[in-house]
Amino acid sequence: MTEHAVSPLRILVIHPIFDFLSITGGWTRPVRCHQVRKRAEAMACLGDTDVLVTMVWQNDFLEKAPDLRLVQSITSGVEQFDIQALKSRGVPLCNARGANAVAVAEHALALIFSIARFLPEARDDQARKFWRPLTAGRRRRELASSHVVIVGYGAIGAHLAGLCRALGIRVTVVRRHVPESHRDGIDFAEVDRFASLAALVDYVVLACPLTEQNRGMLNARVLAGMQPHAAVINVARGGLVVEEDLVSALLSGQIAAAGLDTFADEPLPESSPLWSLPNVVVTPHQAGESELYEHRVADILRENLTRLDEGRDLLNRIV
User: Is-contact 48 60, C-beta < 8 A?
Assistant: no
Please indicate whether residue 107 is annotated as part of the active site: no
Nearest to 148 by CA among 107, 100, 108: 108
Question: Which one is catalytic: 285, 295, 302, 307?
Answer: 285
Longest dimension (CA), the chain: 70
Q: Out of 159, 237, 243, 294, which one is annotated catalytic?
A: 237
From residue 214, give the alpha-carbon distance in Å to each of 158, 176, 206, 208, 211: 19, 11, 11, 9, 5
Q: How far apart are CA 169 and CA 105, in angstroms?
A: 15
Q: Which residue in 100, 122, 118, 106 sits closest to 231, CA to CA?
A: 118
187-190: strand order across its sheet: 187-190, 170-175, 147-151, 203-206, 231-234, 257-260, 280-282
Which residues, in sequence order, are CB contacts of 311 under 8 Å at separation 6+?
none
- The span from the CA of 42 to the CA of 58, in Å, is 11
Does 237 participate in catalysis according to the annotation?
Answer: yes
Q: How many CB atoms lie within 10 A of CB 3?
A: 14
C-alpha of 125 from chain center: 30
In the residue annotation, 117 being an active-site residue is answered as no
Per the CB < 8 A criterion, the answer to whether 246 and 258 are in contact is: yes
Q: Which of 41, 190, 244, 266 is catalytic?
A: 266
How far apart CA 257 and CA 280 sit, in angstroms, is 6
Q: Are 65 and 49 in contact (CB under 8 A)?
A: yes
Known catalytic residues are: 237, 266, 285
